[in-house]
Chains A and B, each alone.
Chain A
Amino acid sequence: MNRYLTAASAALAIFAFTAAPSAADTIRVLNWQGYGTDEDWSLEMFEEKTGHKVEHEYFNSEQEMLTKLRTNPGTYDVVLINSAFTPQAAKEGLIVPIDTAKIPNAADLTPEMRNNPNLVIDGKTYGVAWVWGATSFAINTEKFDKAPETIEVLWSGDFADKVGWRDDAVEAVQMAAIALGQDINNPSDLDAIREKLHALKPQIRTFWTSENDWNQYMSSGEFDVAVYWSGSASRSANNFGLPVEFVVPKEGAIGWLDGLSVPKDAPNTDAAYEFINWMIDPEFYVKWDTDVGAPASANAKAMAGLPEDAFNRTVLGNSAVTSKLKFMGPIEDDMREKMLELWQETKTFYQK
């Protein structure tokens, strides 16, 4: 009996020593599935460095993310927020200012990204710039002789019933706004956009909702050309070996910047800071982009650590391309509602 007790206490002691390099916490991260924060190798490295374990919960739209923050206060430690939504989340009190002094790697962030007016509000940092990229479209290279130069390819009769689109009101309206040369955050002529979207009717094969969806539709030949995100496109090409090329047409593309924020009443703020610091660490980013495929990092040092031929250096590192990006900003509530109503009306039109 005594022997067992000794063995048990010894085991406990060993467990206590190994498990506690610092105060080990479990943090909860809210993000899109398969979007960097939940890479197994990275979480292992993070746990080795800090002792913290990371759990994930996922969302399928920005609105769902906001809903989760509103309805589950005190549940999450780190949340990924598209910078266009950061001001709204901050205004609603869903996220709290971040003490960037506690995040050493934040000093290496490209100043334009770090100080993006959507992330820094009244001098307080509500989101740490993490990655950025473009929303445009990708093509199946087997169906094209050379990459198209214009966004009008989505409306081209050659690809009728072969276009993939995302069932997202804002993205749909913004893509049409780019084709028509309108301001993507505050389009001036919604009727023209409505007409442009109605004209997509013979083109759209179906709507995709996740990266996984997109890859399946592209590989089974349902799509020849489909609206897509730059980081996802490089993943589809690198990880899944799909013959995919991302196109930034002459009309431009939607630019976006994702930040990492700390929700109000987060249970483990310090561990959350350590995790954010790890997420913008060049060591993590270079491995993420090289092995998996990632959007462009907001950390200049991380971008410089990429191989010369990396997608993020050749396509997004090119200033001629970045100058064509139109960055997403906050959209007024009534404009957002108008966009949704326009899109729902358009989807109803597609049924007839």
Chain B
Amino acid sequence: MAVSTTASGGAGRANSPTRAVVLLTGPAYVWLTIAVLLPLLAMFYFSFLTEAPIAGRVGELTLEQYREFLEHGFYTTLILRSLKLGATVAFFCFLLGFPCAYVLAKTIKGRWREALFLLVIIPFWSNALVRVFSWTMVLRGNGLLERSIDFVIPGAGSLGLMFTYPAVVIGLVHSYLPYMILTCYISLQAIDDDLIEAARSLGAKRLTILRRLILPLAMPGIVAGAVLIFVPVIGSFMEPRILGGRHGTFIGTIIEDQFTAVFNWPLGAALSFILLACVLVIFALFAPVLKRAA
């Protein structure tokens, strides 16, 4: 940084755009390097050690952690399970979020839009743990949901949602829905209303407009939302643990166990990087589709 500023300072005004770029983006990149890359590199190094070199312990270099993964089939099972969870949550976020974003972007104007936006964003202002625990009150046996249903249809019986896979999906969809709404909203708003008018005047039906015009044009937002949701969901551990109970074991909870319950940081780190590799492979495979969409 210091070098580049003096260099551009000597070159005078001609270089000032470079200088501006360095000055404006520099702090962010320095911060990212320190806050993201360094800890990540340390974890990557840990994943090749026999034990975490903390408090006077010395770890030796080894591939044992990665072999551990290959030796036990259940880690793979759990990664697949987490990937499936990520896809499911992203899909339901799209199903619920896209219509909502469409209405916000195209139908509602003015003050109502602000009010509705607030409703979308408010959950973001609350603590994630509080949100999940409030879901336990709703979903548990004889909880708010079952009592409300029983009020409408007496004797409807128990749903038994708590501590199931659907409970985890419900909690996660609620947590991540705003991402989908916001990204879809931005790309939907950018669609010129005249385009839709034109299609309509040429006799296109509503479904055709949606399928051939709006969905393709909104694809960058949908893809961005899906990626933003998919990645954190496959590593999630809090929601599955609290809402999933016995059905809440995913690769995220296993990694958390390695760090907090048994102090096996190397294995936890190795599993994290294997998961990261899986994500990268998936994105590489879908790169052509993603590129076209974006």
Residues of A within 8 A of B (CB): 60-61, 63-64, 66-67, 70-71, 73, 92-94, 165, 168-169, 204-207, 220-222, 336-337, 340-341, 344-345, 347-351
B39 to chain A, nearest CB (A): 15
CA distance A92 to B264 in the complex (A): 16
Partner of B141, one of A220, A344, A351: A220
Could you mark each residue 74-88 of chain B with 1 if its beta carbon is under 8 Å from any beta carbon of chain A, else 0?
A: 100110010000000
Check A67–B141 contact: CB distance below 8 A.
no
Complex interface: chain A residues within 8 A of B245 (CB): 204-207
Which residue in chain B gives the minimum CB-CB distance to A163? B246
Complex interface: chain A residues within 8 A of B77 (CB): 348, 351
Complex interface: chain A residues within 8 A of B78 (CB): 348, 351
Check A351–B260 contact: CB distance below 8 A.
no
Check B72–A67 contact: CB distance below 8 A.
no
Complex interface: chain B residues within 8 A of A61 (CB): 260-261
Check A71–B261 contact: CB distance below 8 A.
no
Check A348–B246 contact: CB distance below 8 A.
no
Check B54–A71 contact: CB distance below 8 A.
yes
The 3 tightest CB contacts between A and B, nearest first, are: A206-B245, A70-B55, A348-B74
**Known pairs A60-B260, A73-B55, A222-B162 / 10 extra A-B pairs, C-beta < 8 Å:** A61-B260, A63-B261, A63-B262, A67-B263, A71-B55, A92-B55, A340-B261, A344-B257, A351-B78, A351-B81
The B interface, classified by DSSP as helix, strand, loop or mixed, is loop
Check A66–B72 contact: CB distance below 8 A.
no
Check B140–A220 contact: CB distance below 8 A.
yes
CA distance A70 to B54 in the complex (A): 7
CA distance A149 to B43 in the complex (A): 49
Interface centre among B142, B162, B262 (most CB of A within 10 A): B262
CA distance A347 to B202 in the complex (A): 58
CA distance A221 to B160 in the complex (A): 12
Complex interface: chain A residues within 8 A of B254 (CB): 344
Which residue in chain B gives the minimum CB-CB distance to A70? B55
A82 to chain B, nearest CB (A): 14
CA distance A340 to B72 in the complex (A): 13
A79 to chain B, nearest CB (A): 14
CA distance A296 to B81 in the complex (A): 44
B255 to chain A, nearest CB (A): 11
| B163 on the A face (CB < 8 A) | yes
| B247 on the A face (CB < 8 A) | yes
Partner of B261, one of A64, A92, A93, A350: A64
Which residue in chain A gives the minimum CB-CB distance to B251? A348
- Given A221-B142, A222-B141, the answer on whether A67 and B260 have CB atoms closer than 8 Å is yes
A287 to chain B, nearest CB (A): 33
Check A351–B140 contact: CB distance below 8 A.
no
Complex interface: chain B residues within 8 A of A64 (CB): 260-261
Interface centre among A67, A221, A340 (most CB of B within 10 A): A67
A136 to chain B, nearest CB (A): 21
Partner of B246, one of A92, A93, A206: A206
| B249 on the A face (CB < 8 A) | yes
Complex interface: chain A residues within 8 A of B264 (CB): 337, 340
CA distance A345 to B72 in the complex (A): 8
Partner of B140, one of A73, A207, A222, A345: A222
CA distance A191 to B78 in the complex (A): 22
Check B54–A204 contact: CB distance below 8 A.
no
Chain B stretch 247-273: residues in CB contact (< 8 A) with chain A:
247, 249, 254, 257, 260-264
Interface centre among B74, B141, B246 (most CB of A within 10 A): B246
CA distance A63 to B260 in the complex (A): 7
A330 to chain B, nearest CB (A): 15
B271 to chain A, nearest CB (A): 11
Complex interface: chain B residues within 8 A of A92 (CB): 55
B236 to chain A, nearest CB (A): 15
Could you mark each residue 36-71 of chain B with 1 if its beta carbon is under 8 Å from any beta carbon of chain A, else 0?
A: 000000000000000000111000000000000000
Complex interface: chain B residues within 8 A of A337 (CB): 262, 264
